Structures are given as C-alpha cells and as structure tokens.
C-alpha cells in the first residue's frame, strides 16, 4: 500500500464502563502515524502512552483468533488486520472505533459474547461418529473437503452474530454463526449426526428465523457466506423430512 | 428428526411463492397486456372468470397470496418470541384469519362468476 503523507491520525474511540459511567462517551486522541499501522496499533498507542484504562480484546494480531472484531468507521472489521491507510483511502478523515453493536458492553470495546458462545456450544461443534475409529485418521477426498472449505475459515469473531437483525429481536435465535457451523458439520463426510443436527437447527429458533437479510455475509471479515449455508440447512431439513428421517 | 418444527409451513411458503410468480404473471399479463385495452365491465370480467383457467388462476391467487402474506406476518411476530404457547396461538389465529379471508374472497369470486 502506498505511503500516506501524514504525521498523526485522529482516533475517536468509544468509552463506557457500566460500573462507573451513566452513559457512554467518545474520547478523541491524536496518534502518531507510522506506515503499515493498523487500528490495533493505534489502540495500543492509546493504551500504552495516553490512557491505560482503555479496554479492548486481542490475541494473535494476525487475523486468526477473532478477538479484535470491532465496528470501525461503520464496518465490521478486525482491528489487527485493518490498516489505518486503508480506512483513510476509503474517504474517512479520522478513525472511529466502536464495540461490536447490539451486544452488551462489558467495558469500552469489550462486549459480552456469552450468548454467542452458548449458541455455538448448543450445536455440538465437534465431530460425531458412529463407526469404529480408524487406525490412523478419517480420510476425506478433495471434493468432500471442498464442501467445508469456506466454513472452516471462521475465526469465531462474532461479527455476523452482532450484525443480524433476527439476533437483535429473537433472544433464543441460534444466529448465523451457529447455523453456518451446523451446516458445516452436516455436509462433513466424516460426521454421522446430520439428522440430529438438522433437528436442532430446523425450527423456529433456528433456520426459519433467517430472513436472508445478508447482514452476516456482509459483516464477515473472512468472507464467509453464512446465509447460503443457512439456506442449505433449510433445503436439507426439508429433504430429510421428505425421506422420513427420524 | 427430534427438534425439527415448522418444516412443512416453510416449504408451503416456498411453494406458494412459486405459485404466486406463475399466477401473478398470468394475472398481470391478462390485465395489462393481452387483448384490446378497452375498459372492462363487470360483465366482461364475469365472462372471463367462467373459464376453468381463470377460475384456477384467481382462486390460486387468492389462496397463495393469503398463505404467503400471513406466513410472512407470522414470521415477523415470531421474531419477537418463540414461546411454544405463543407460536401455537399465533399460528391458530392466523389460520383462522386466513380461512375467513379466503371464504370471503371466494364468495366474491363466485358472485362474479354467476354474473
Ligand atoms: S462466520 Fe465470519 S463473521 Fe461470523 S464468527 Fe465466523 S469469521 Fe466471524
Ligand atoms: S487479534 Fe486475533 S484476529 Fe485480531
């Protein structure tokens, strides 16, 4: 990415501590700009040099752990992968960093992901087999593996969950991530629990609540199409019912 | 398939969507593009409605639109609660509403058919 001829970047960051604050505020900082700087770097500058009380999540710093998902200049992005230069090239003059919307704020940019994790756990996101364990490993052909390629790229950042209107209104809705992951196991040639999985997701708290709004697909930093996976779940649930699956 | 619910309801919504696409196309074509664009009288409509095709198209339009629309309304309501008892009450209520509306619409069509 070509160099930017600037010395500082203005960073506006959301601050809220439910234990002490009555309402949220936006803090403004002018942060020294260096080439290749990411939004996470800018947040670290604030944390280390200006205000050590700023709270945010991160871990891998390379787009793998999903911890740093935030709402940056109006889009769901990973702070560690988002270069400041890219945001400015989109036409923005300053950085606006907010927590993932529609989730309870624990502090500043850290949101409560409990519901997201509970839903994920509820779909049993592990392999279920009914055959004897092979000596070495359960093999998959390249074609079989292709069916799940897109979905194993999910880093569980929660952006899709935060962006989904059906999640905002439906407290019991599984959400796009848990359903995409359900589909991922349903189409996995090594898994033997497709019918149970379809039963878990093919109901009013699952697949039928998806109104194909595509917010999740747009929000995903890994470009995963959860909506299409959910449509796949719907089709497979109907097909299983027509086959008389129990 | 333990846990699966509402599968047929959703499938019917998809089927009625296809049905609507077909009958609406016929309906709009006949109304706006086919034949001479003379002003239609009730008698004209009545004559047209006496053919089997139009009986099927108009009754189909009535049934498909009602099911599809009310299923959509049910979906909106269920976005706010999925409590079993509420889902049941909403479903029964909307079936009742849909049935009454269908009978009402069917009577109107029959009146037209009789002329
Ligand atoms: S599907 Fe995409 S947006 Fe959703 S949790 Fe996974 S990586 Fe994040
Ligand atoms: S810190 Fe791990 S994805 Fe950003």
Extended beta strands in A53-206, E state: 69-72, 75-78, 95-98, 105-107, 110-111
Residue B48, domain extent: 4-114
Beta-carbon separation of B79 and A209 below 8 A: yes
Number of domains in chain B: 1
pLDDT tens sequence across A45-90: 999 999 999 999 999 999 999 999 999 999 999 999 999 999 999 9
Please write the tens of the pLDDT for every residue from A127-173.
Answer: 999 999 999 999 999 999 999 999 999 999 999 999 999 999 988 99
Strand order in the sheet with A95-98: A25-32, A8-15, A95-98, A69-72, A75-78
Q: What is the CB < 6 Å shell around ligand 1?
A: A 66, 154-160, 177, 180, 219-220, 222, 224, 226
In the numeric block, which tokens belong to residue A73?
């200049």
CA atoms within a 13 Å half-sphere pointing along the CA-CB vector of A72: 25
What tokens does A215 get?
């917010």
- Exposure on the CB side of residue A115, measured as CA atoms within 13 A: 16
pLDDT (tens digit per residue) in A6-29: 899 999 999 999 999 999 999 999
In the structure encoding, which two tokens stand for residue B14, read together? 């998809």
Q: Does B10 touch chain A (CB under 8 A)?
A: yes
pLDDT at A203: 92
- Please answer yes or no on whether A241 and B1 come within 8 Å at the CB atom: yes
Residues of A with CB under 8 A from a CB of B: 165-166, 169-170, 172-173, 195-196, 198-200, 202-205, 207-209, 211, 234, 237-238, 240-241, 245-246
User: Which CATH number does the domain housing residue B28 bear?
Assistant: 1.20.1300.10
Domains and CATH numbers, chain A: 8-111 (3.10.20.30), 114-245 (1.10.1060.10)
Query: Is residue A218's pLDDT more than 80?
Result: yes
Is the alpha carbon torsion for B59, B14, B2, A170 positive or negative? negative
B45 inside 8 A of chain A by CB: no
Q: Which of A204, A234, A245 shows the shortest C-beta gap to B5?
A: A204
The response to whether residue A61 sits with its C-beta less than 6 Å from ligand 2 reads: yes
What whole-number percentage of chain A has pLDDT above 90? Answer: 94
B51 touches chain A (CB under 8 A): no
Distance A59 CA to ligand 2 centre (A): 6
Q: Is A149 exposed, middle or buried (0-12, 13-18, 19+ CB in 10 A)?
A: exposed
Question: What is the separation, in whole angstroms, between the first and last Cα of chain B?
Answer: 51
The one-digit pLDDT tens for each residue of chain B (115 residues) are 888 989 999 999 999 999 999 999 988 888 788 766 667 788 888 888 888 888 999 999 999 999 999 999 999 999 888 888 998 999 999 999 999 999 999 999 999 888 7
Quote the pLDDT of residue B38: 65
What pLDDT, on the 0 to 100 scale, is given for residue B16?
A: 97
* pLDDT level of residue A5 (50, 70, 90 thresholds): confident
* pLDDT for the residue numbered A82: 98
Q: Which residues pair with A107 in a beta bridge?
A: A110
pLDDT score recorded for residue A210: 95
């Amino acid at each position: 990415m070509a160099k930017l001829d600037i010395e500082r970047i203005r960073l506006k960051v959301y601050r809220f501590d439910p234990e002490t604050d009555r309402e949220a505020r936006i803090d403004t900082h002018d942060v020294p700009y260096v080439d290749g700087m990411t939004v996470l770097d800018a947040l670290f500058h604030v944390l280390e040099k200006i205000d050590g009380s700023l709270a945010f999540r991160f871990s891998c710093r390379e787009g793998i752990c999903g911890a740093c998902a935030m709402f940056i200049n109006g889009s769901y992005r990973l702070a560690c992968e988002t270069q400041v230069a890219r945001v400015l090239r989109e036409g923005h003059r300053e950085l606006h960093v907010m927590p993932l919307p529609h989730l309870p704020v624990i502090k500043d940019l850290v949101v409560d992901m409990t519901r997201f994790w509970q839903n994920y756990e509820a779909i049993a996101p592990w392999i279920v087999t009914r055959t004897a364990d092979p000596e070495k490993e359960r093999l998959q052909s390249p074609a079989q593996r292709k069916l799940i390629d897109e979905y194993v790229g999910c880093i569980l950042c929660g952006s899709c969950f935060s962006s989904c209107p059906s999640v905002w209104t439906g407290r019991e809705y599984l959400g796009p991530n848990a359903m995409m992951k359900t589909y991922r196991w349903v189409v996995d040639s090594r898994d033997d629990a497709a019918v149970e999985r379809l039963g878990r997701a093919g109901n009013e708290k699952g697949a039928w609540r998806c109104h194909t709004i595509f917010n999740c697909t747009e929000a995903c930093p890994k470009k995963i199409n959860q909506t299409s996976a959910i449509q796949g779940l719907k089709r497979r649930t109907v097909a299983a019912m027509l086959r008389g699956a129990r | 398939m333990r846990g699966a619910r509402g599968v047929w309801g959703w499938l019917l919504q998809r089927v009625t969507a296809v049905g609507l696409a077909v009958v609406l196309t016929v309906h709009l074509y006949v109304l706006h593009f086919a034949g001479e664009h003379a002003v239609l009288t009730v008698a004209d409509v009545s004559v047209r409605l006496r053919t089997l095709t139009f009986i099927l198209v108009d009754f189909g339009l009535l049934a498909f639109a009602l099911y599809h629309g009310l299923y959509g309304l049910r979906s909106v309501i269920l976005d706010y609660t999925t409590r079993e008892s509420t889902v049941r009450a909403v479903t029964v209520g909307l079936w009742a509403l849909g049935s009454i509306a269908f009978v009402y619409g069917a009577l109107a069509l029959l009146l037209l058919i009789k002329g």
